Chain A
């Protein structure tokens, strides 16, 4: 019990304090954050799946503060935050997140939730990757067969993951078959769907929420949620923008948001969110066993 309370302390206490403030305001006290607006830059996957609408609505109900959600893709979302144009980021590329924190732009990172990536491809499976256990093998087979692969090519979290997989497979993708779209997940899925025999790497959430619109694509390599390789894990983090770097950011509201979304209630919202009966995101912020690596860059060690 103690341990759990300790883990919840970072976000939870802030949320509790601020919740107290709002409580006061209802009885005529100081309305500290009522009517304020929080700017959240995030990825298209959290936005397009509809998850954010659900979570942000609940946040507004509870705190009376509006959330302006801007869906940009991980690279752009972090860049906007670097300029001090957003208060909090929700992204999914740990390497980029760590860089963001090392540079001092972000503070109080929390692990939020995860889902996974899947490799989707056409029904006739020209590269013969269906059901492969290793995604690196599947990528190698696609490259060998020179089957069309549509890359996000937009420095998003998914694009970064894709590049990591090519690297792990020891392949530098290039040629007619490798198409860098420079677009969001939804657009790339559409493109792969319209193009004959194209593959792409997609986050499971966006794929499921868009599946009814996609005629020729199916999951060819599963992610870890369905027993696939760990390399396809897709963890999301939430980070407040450092108020010491940008004094204009709404830091306390950002922490209230982080507190809410990593609380039991917030995590329950994530767990219960389904599209077509399928759960899209798996909460991981509430845990008894401490995970200190979530607060700092993954390989961070104190200097002694």
Chain B
């Protein structure tokens, strides 16, 4: 896996048997991958629960300002991650509301989860909402007619919209695991603690070790591909 596709001619003094010499050991790499997965998967899992709830509530109900809420959700998809990072930083800083409340969240994975939650939620909510509203009214009516309560109707709708929702979840995951701006700000890129694949890539690129940065990028893409495959397969099996 490591070094695949990286031309040997690009190496300048860093080439080992794996084309690129890693400044940290095998365990260091595993830890970086672990932190990336832990933070992004947690953030996306929490976000999925929240997003589907919001999507169903907004999708099923008509209320004043509904159009505004939808516009807000869609705008949120374009939030710059650095801005989200700064807002979360101010919230968790020792001077901020959460810091004042006694939580020590600055430069922790929990703070990174918070910022990725904020980044992923508009994406998952927006796409889920489109999927939910796209479900044929007849199916909902049928569920009602069969004596289904509101919750049953919601579950039937989610089931019908599952592929759309899954697309949203995967898009949200892509947004979360690939962003570097906010996790760098709230996480601090601390070795062994808050260093993710993206912040490691940023660090290596900063030091001019472009080959190593590219290899880490390949690892990241391979990881996302793997998760995509797993989730699609899982979603397929469970819901059917």
Contact = CB atoms under 8 A, between A and B. Distances in A.
Interface of A: 39, 44, 48, 53, 68-72, 83-85, 183-184, 186-187, 189-190, 193, 209-210, 212-214, 246, 248
A70 B107 contact: yes
B94 A44 contact: no
Contacts of B207: 48, 186, 209-210, 213
Interface stretch (B34-42, B73-81, B172-180, B183-191): B183-191
A72 B93 CA distance: 16
Contacts of B14: 212
Interface string B202-215: 00011111100000
Contact of B94 (A53, A84, A190): A84
A71 to B, nearest CB: 7
Nearest to B108: A68
B94 A71 contact: no
A44 B104 CA distance: 24
Interface residues of B, number: 21
Contacts of A248: 94, 99, 104
Contacts of B205: 187, 190
22 contacts: A68-B193, A70-B188, A70-B190, A72-B188, A83-B94, A84-B94, A85-B93, A85-B107, A183-B206, A184-B206, A186-B206, A186-B207, A187-B205, A187-B206, A190-B206, A210-B208, A212-B13, A212-B14, A213-B209, A213-B210, A248-B94, A248-B99
A68 B206 contact: no
Contacts, number: 57
Nearest to B95: A83
B25 to A, nearest CB: 13
A84 to B, nearest CB: 4
Contacts of B189: 70-71
A158 B98 CA distance: 34
B12 interface: yes
A152 B7 CA distance: 31
B106 A85 contact: yes
A88 to B, nearest CB: 14
Contacts of A246: 94
Given A83-B93, A85-B94, A212 B12 contact: yes
Contacts of A69: 190-191
Given A39-B107, A187-B206, A212-B14, 19 more contacts: A68-B188, A68-B193, A69-B190, A69-B191, A70-B107, A70-B188, A72-B188, A83-B93, A83-B95, A84-B95, A85-B93, A85-B107, A184-B206, A190-B206, A190-B208, A193-B208, A210-B207, A210-B208, A212-B13
Nearest to A215: B12
Contacts of B209: 213
Contacts of B13: 212
Instruction: Across the A-B interface, give the 5 residue pairs with the lowest CB-CB distance, nearest first.
Output: A213-B208, A70-B188, A84-B94, A186-B206, A85-B106
A66 to B, nearest CB: 8
A102 B185 CA distance: 27
A186 B190 CA distance: 18
Contacts of B191: 53, 69
